[in-house]
Structure 1
Amino acid sequence: MKPFGFFHLKGISGQIAALVLASTVALHLVVTTAFLISRPDRPDAPPDGARQLTDAALLLGAAEPGERPRLVADLARAFPSLGIEMLAPGTAIVEKGDGPHLHGMRRHLGRGFKAVQLASDGNTRRVGVQLPDGTVIAGHVDGGPRPWFWGGPWLTALMSAFICVTVLGLWAARALTRPLSSFAEAAENFSLDGTAEPLPERGPEEIRSVARALNRMHERIARLMSDRTRMLAAISHDLRTPITRLRLRAEFIEDEGNRKRMLIDLDQMRAMLESVLSLLRDDRKIEAMTLVDIASTLQLVADQFGDMGHVVRYDGPASATAAARPDDLHRGVTNLVENAVRFGAEVTIRLEVSDTTLVIDVEDDGPGISDARKQEMLEPFVRGDDARTMDESIGFGLGLSIARAIALAHGGELSLHDRKPHGLIVRMQLPVSQAPRLAA
């Protein structure tokens, strides 16, 4: 780590340090401003009615009884809003309630004085104070002192601190998590056709370094797959010619048995080559998503296999429209039905549609697949037979993997389930509305 690299503002650590420092400075500025504006000891602080009445009661209690009328008149002229007056001798005061301002007055008045709440006059409160010699004075109080936290600098400081920390925290969370969200979205939309936009290289230096590394990795993977595709295309082109020559030469073999066996081997080589290229090629033009009548596609596949002598039924709605790639979908379902008719006598293509998902089940009455091998059977070149004989009638173990790749390209999934009492259910689940993407 570089010296003082923690304070490098282009990195995450520097931005967090700057955020904490800015929050602390902003909080101190708000608190200082609140106290400078609302400090109670400033010379022009507005008078408090309860405090004025308390001071007046203490002054009158210390004065001679003959001087009190003159002092009351002077106080009334000095503080007209206080409305101070002396009640007639012998006037009985009746308490009308209590309040926090009375507790403060009683605490400052001390023994010998009695402060009570009188009848209210409008929005102000009338408070009476009985002096030690029984004289009663009364005045108007505007509610008395409020709690220490209400309306003072404390509440303003706390509210401002909460707002500052919340706003800065939300900004920091968004600034740091937005690149991570874009990374997750890029991983979900990863494709090799060149349509995916590169990750934006913005944000803190560490985030930009990760985005730059991911973009380079995407380029390397795309280049590797492109080289592999070109290599397979060259191999397929070079192999087709010698296979064709061998087939022509095999026709001239006089021994019927040897000629037949050689032609079968050549057909297996050709079929295996075409199957591998069908799985691995990605240089074809990507089919566009369009509205497809899924039910018609499934019924078409069932009719095609029925024409070839297989018992294949379709069970589902007469019409069901969803966004899909029609040729890929037809190819995937065809692969599933080919596997089903290879191991079962009767096959059912079942379609169920909900608001968000459509489910295509291809059911057969064959021997099924054990639970231990269900996940393994979805991998390329894994076949259901144990002999591993290269027989085209058994297949090369690519049908399920191709169908699974097509399901993933539609944003769905492919899974294997048991059928009662025996058989297998291959379930393809596709979203009704999805963002088109390509399986990596």
Structure 2
Amino acid sequence: MATSLCRTARRDPAEMPRQRGLTRGLARFGAWGTALMACWMLALLLLQVLFGRQLERIQTLQLGRDLALNIRLTELTLERYPPSLISELTGLELVVSAQPAAPDRESQAAAQRRQELRQVLCSRLTHCRELRPAPSRAGTPEAWIELFSPLEPVWLRTPLPMSRAWPPPPTLLLLALVGATVMTGVLYLLLDVARPLRKLEDAVSRVGEDINREPVPEQGSAEVRRISRRFNAMVHRLAEGEKERATMLAGIAHDLRAPLTRLQFRLSMPELNSEERTRCHSDLEALERITGQFLLYAGGGEREESVECPLDQWLAETVAGQPRDQIQLELSPISLPIRPVALGRAVSNLIDNAFSHGTAPVVVRLRRRGAEVAIEVWDQGQGMPANAWERALQPFQRLDSARGSQGHCGLGLAIVNHVVRTHAGRLSIRQGNGDPGRFAVIITLPVKETKMPDIP
């Protein structure tokens, strides 16, 4: 019995996310409802300040038109009928008195309304009528209007139009509601749509720089939260794929290390003749080159910190191991923040390609071009077709099928392109018969500092 009761009271786990979503939706609805009411009150206050005076003038003008008509008709009727009968028939409040009752004190606003009403009546009647303050009833200021009567002095009592703090006129209420709706909509777009979208845009722009960054907060409207959730899922899949790629390449390189070590050990034994030893050394160098390329492509240099480096001295050290009679340097004194190890491997790859597939001498040039710095590697070879450049930048693409036997796996330019992109730069080629060579691969890096002089 107790077990069945426990099972009955157990809640379905699938309903819990729906209940949390419903609670979150109700909370957001209440918050935006409160914001709408606050905006409505603010808009109503602003409209009363800005347009309350205009509404009072309109009300005074309309009251003056109605009173002018009533005054004409009443004065004509007073020639034949007594004021009491006219008041009973028309509902107008008429008083026969030479000096009607006056209030103890008249406010400045009531006096101003009375003068405005007198100006309207004077503009619509042939003769100006005298207006005197009357005692207020129910807190509403009133006034006496003099009527021309042939037998006795008659006064018409009328209320004065005054601005109302509450309840406001229906026109102001409607305009305030429209303004509040617009204000709330703008706040909704700014807080629940625009701001989360800016965060998402920033995250999208930085995916290529750091794929292992923190996920985007799922904030804002339901649509923006759904987009952020899918973006985070996409980045997670990309990070997992990057991790699997690094693991795979590192595993391949690790597996190659063992046969390389055994091959080196066998080469150290005296039983091999010179021809076999030379062939084994060639295979060993090819395996080491392939392993190094795999390891470099797996690392990519993203984790290396950027340091301020004099590029001319750094390039001179990078090419120090190359034959001096086959390489020339044209370096300008330029300093720039770089990842020296990763960029050094990229430049070394370009120089190795120039020696392997081009013609010496190889010229390494460093110069400043406006807001950019160019590292150019020239050789005297035929280069490559322009339509093959994009394919050459892809990993595991070899334009020359015979290059695989020399220890090339098609990762050289892909590594260079990847390293240059981590420096926010670009990789390009130039062909021609001018100085200093016939074909060049150019690394272009942006300059963040503006104090360095331009070098033509």
When normalised by structure 2's length, the TM-score is 0.59
Contact 1:305 1:311 in 2 (8 A): no
Matched to 1:352, the amino acid is: R
From 190, 198, 201, the equivalent of 2:207 is 190
From 216, 230, 236, the equivalent of 2:253 is 236
**Within 1, Cα distance between the matches of 2:299 and 2:54?**
81
Q: Does the alignment pair 1:340 with 2:358? A: no
Query: Deviation string for 1:330-378 (max 9, x for gaps)?
Result: 22222223323431324242322534x4333333332122121011111
From 272, 293, 298, the equivalent of 1:275 is 293
Q: CA deviation at 1:406?
A: 1.1
The answer to which structure has the higher helix fraction is 2
Q: CA deviation at 1:17?
A: 12
**Within 2, Cα distance between the matches of 1:63 and 1:82?**
27
**Within 1, Cα distance between the matches of 2:32 and 2:430?**
54
Contact 2:312 2:366 in 1 (8 A): no
**Within 2, Cα distance between the matches of 1:199 and 1:83?**
64
SS at match of 2:382: coil
Change over 3 Å in CA distance of 1:210–1:49 after alignment to 2: closer
Q: Does the alignment pair 1:351 with 2:364? A: no
Matched to 2:342, the amino acid is: D
SS at match of 2:275: helix
Contact 2:398 2:410 in 1 (8 A): yes
For 1:128, the equivalent position in structure 2 comes to: none
Change over 3 Å in CA distance of 1:246–1:271 after alignment to 2: same
Correspondence list, 1:283-298, <5 A: 286-298=303-315
**Within 2, Cα distance between the matches of 1:17 and 1:413?**
51
Name structure 1 gaps, 5 residues minimum.
66-73, 86-100, 116-151, 435-440
Matched to 2:447, the amino acid is: V
Q: CA deviation at 1:260?
A: 2.4
From 165, 169, 185, the equivalent of 2:182 is 165
Matched to 2:431, the amino acid is: D
Change over 3 Å in CA distance of 1:155–1:339 after alignment to 2: farther
**Within 2, Cα distance between the matches of 1:305 and 1:222?**
37
SS at match of 1:387: helix
Contact 2:297 2:415 in 1 (8 A): yes
Matched to 2:207, the amino acid is: F
For 2:326, the equivalent position in structure 1 comes to: 310
SS at match of 2:303: coil
**Within 1, Cα distance between the matches of 2:117 and 2:245?**
99
Matched to 2:325, the amino acid is: G
Matched to 1:237, the amino acid is: H
Matched to 1:399, the amino acid is: G
Q: Give the alignment's Cα RMSD to 1 decimal.
A: 5.3
Contact 2:40 2:179 in 1 (8 A): no
From 394, 397, 404, the equivalent of 2:417 is 404
Change over 3 Å in CA distance of 1:315–1:30 after alignment to 2: closer
For 1:94, the equivalent position in structure 2 comes to: none
Change over 3 Å in CA distance of 1:156–1:300 after alignment to 2: farther
**Within 2, Cα distance between the matches of 1:162 and 1:176?**
20
Name structure 2 gaps, 5 residues minimum.
1-14, 80-97, 103-110, 129-168, 450-456
Contact 1:39 1:153 in 2 (8 A): no
Matched to 2:368, the amino acid is: E
**Within 1, Cα distance between the matches of 2:276 and 2:117?**
129
Change over 3 Å in CA distance of 1:61–1:214 after alignment to 2: closer
Q: What is the number of equivalent residue pairs in this alignment?
A: 359
For 1:121, the equivalent position in structure 2 comes to: none
SS at match of 1:267: helix
Change over 3 Å in CA distance of 1:285–1:22 after alignment to 2: closer
From 257, 260, 275, the equivalent of 2:275 is 257
Q: CA deviation at 1:428?
A: 2.3
SS at match of 2:198: helix
Query: Deviation string for 1:194-240 (max 9, x for gaps)?
Result: 86222223334554455445445544544454455445444433432
**Within 2, Cα distance between the matches of 1:29 and 1:385?**
74
Change over 3 Å in CA distance of 1:51–1:414 after alignment to 2: same
Q: Does the alignment pair 1:361 with 2:376? A: yes
**Within 2, Cα distance between the matches of 1:279 and 1:41?**
76
Matched to 2:305, the amino acid is: A
Contact 1:359 1:429 in 2 (8 A): yes
For 2:430, the equivalent position in structure 1 comes to: 417
Q: Does the alignment pair 1:322 with 2:336? A: yes
Correspondence list, 1:41-440, <5 A: 51=65, 58=72, 81=115, 158=175, 161-162=178-179, 164-190=181-207, 196-250=213-267, 252=270, 254-281=272-299, 286-301=303-318, 304=320, 307-316=323-332, 318-319=333-334, 321-342=335-356, 343-345=358-360, 346-355=362-371, 357-392=372-407, 395-420=408-433, 423-433=438-448
Query: Deviation string for 1:77-96 (max 9, x for gaps)?
Result: 999847989xxxxxxxxxxx
Q: CA deviation at 1:325?
A: 1.6
**Within 1, Cα distance between the matches of 2:127 and 2:433?**
93
